[in-house]
């Protein structure tokens, strides 16, 4: 992790032992122990990156940038963590919110819609071998909002009310986007067969 963005003046001495559980690491991090925060980073970066990667449509470079943004924001907001939920849940939600904010700022829904609908209608869709790779590629080709709803609902287990609140849409729109996304995935997978 690039700790250049993190305030080095708060670092604790190198000789201080670093605990392994999240609560203790968070407490140490709040106190400025960058080594403790690096351990939290190493422990949770895979799950946060995976969620962001799915939301941004398998754009690895963008997912890397957003993952780093999420951890910088986590460092900045750590003092506000109230220990009401697990740190992993708080961090994961922060990472997802970073990806969703990026999605909201993209503003390219219509362009992607036309391309995906054309591909689903029978265009040549290059897929990797294997069912999982095919599914990941199909999800990556979805329009951004439909992809976000599908990933948050079907992969991450969010309820439509949560999705609607985070994406600024009605619950009915979330359900419609999910139905649309599933239909497009079926068409894309059918075109690949």
> What number of H helices and E strands is found in the chain?
9, 0
Give the global pTM.
Answer: 0.69
Q: Are 141 and 57 in contact (CB under 8 A)?
A: yes
Q: What is the pLDDT of residues 23-35, one digit of tens each?
A: 999 999 999 999 9
The CA-CA-CA angle for residues 185, 188, 191, to 5°, reads 150
pLDDT in tens, 37-67: 999 999 999 999 999 999 998 889 999 999 9
Domains of the chain from N-terminus onward: 1-106 (1.10.1740.10), 108-193 (1.10.10.10)
Distance CA 115, CA 121 (A): 10
């Amino acid at each position: 992790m690039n700790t250049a963005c993190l305030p080095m003046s708060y670092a604790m001495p190198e000789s201080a032992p670093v605990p392994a559980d999240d609560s203790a690491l968070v407490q140490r991090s709040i106190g400025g122990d960058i080594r403790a925060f690096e351990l939290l980073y190493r422990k949770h970066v895979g799950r946060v990156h995976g969620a962001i990667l799915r939301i941004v449509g398998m754009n690895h470079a963008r997912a890397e940038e957003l993952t780093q943004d999420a951890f910088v924001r986590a460092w900045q907001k750590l003092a506000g963590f109230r220990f009401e939920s697990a740190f992993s849940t708080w961090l994961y939600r922060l990472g997802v919110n970073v990806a969703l904010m990026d999605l909201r700022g993209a503003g390219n829904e219509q362009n992607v819609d036309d391309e995906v609908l054309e591909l689903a209608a029978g265009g040549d869709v290059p897929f990797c071998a294997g069912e999982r790779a095919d599914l990941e590629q199909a999800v990556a080709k979805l329009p951004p909002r439909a992809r976000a709803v599908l990933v948050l609902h079907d992969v991450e287990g969010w309820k439509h009310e949560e999705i609607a609140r985070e994406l600024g849409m009605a619950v009915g729109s979330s359900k419609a986007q999910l139905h649309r996304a599933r239909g497009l995935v079926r068409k894309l997978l059918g075109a690949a067969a």
